[in-house]
Amino acid sequence: MQTVQEVKIRPVKPDDIEQISLLEQASFNDPYPSYFLSELARHNPDTFLVLTLNNEIVGYGIVDHWEDHDHLISIAVRPDSRRKGFGDTLLVELEKRVSKERLLRLEVRQSNLAAIQLYSKRGFTKTGMVEGYYADGEDAIVMEKRLVKETLVES
């Protein structure tokens, strides 16, 4: 008999930070420290989301509200749960929760083809480069998406 997998997306809770920190360490060479993740959670109660599989956190995504745009700070899926659509699902849910009048911007390592593919698939376009953006000297690609309000079509 096949087990039913229960996938949920919900706002982060203070108790999640430890698990998110482990996921961050498994996903990045230069992970954010847990105090910074806690600050982001405090500032973004609606746009710091976790994705759970059978109540275990396997992904998270964070959008922070900057002065002139919204910024996708981080998104990651646990290595053993990748390529199952969870990254895409998180990004779609984050997009629903940010203001439709604002630009959504992010930086991504130029070698990070998986993430670049994900963002391109969701309609982000490359708008710039930042030389030596990362601590190890790698350049960042800047990508942006202008969200549009869904309009009701009257028949």
**3-state class (DSSP) for residue 73:** strand
Does position 102 interact with ligand COA (CB under 6 A)? The reply is no
Q: Which residues contact 92 (CB under 8 A, 6 or more apart)?
A: 122
Could you tell me the smallest distance in angstroms from the CB atom of residue 124 to ligand COA? 11
Within a 10 A sphere around the Cβ of 81, how many other Cβ atoms?
Answer: 18
Q: How far is CA 62 from the centre of its chain?
A: 5
Find the binder of ligand COA among 47, 86, 105, 124 (CB under 6 A). Answer: 86
Residue 149 interacts with ligand COA (CB under 6 A): yes or no:
no
The answer to whether 113 contacts ligand COA (rule: CB under 6 A) is yes
Footprint of ligand COA (CB under 6 A): 27, 75-77, 82-88, 108, 112-115, 117-118, 121
Mind telling me the catalytic residues?
107, 119
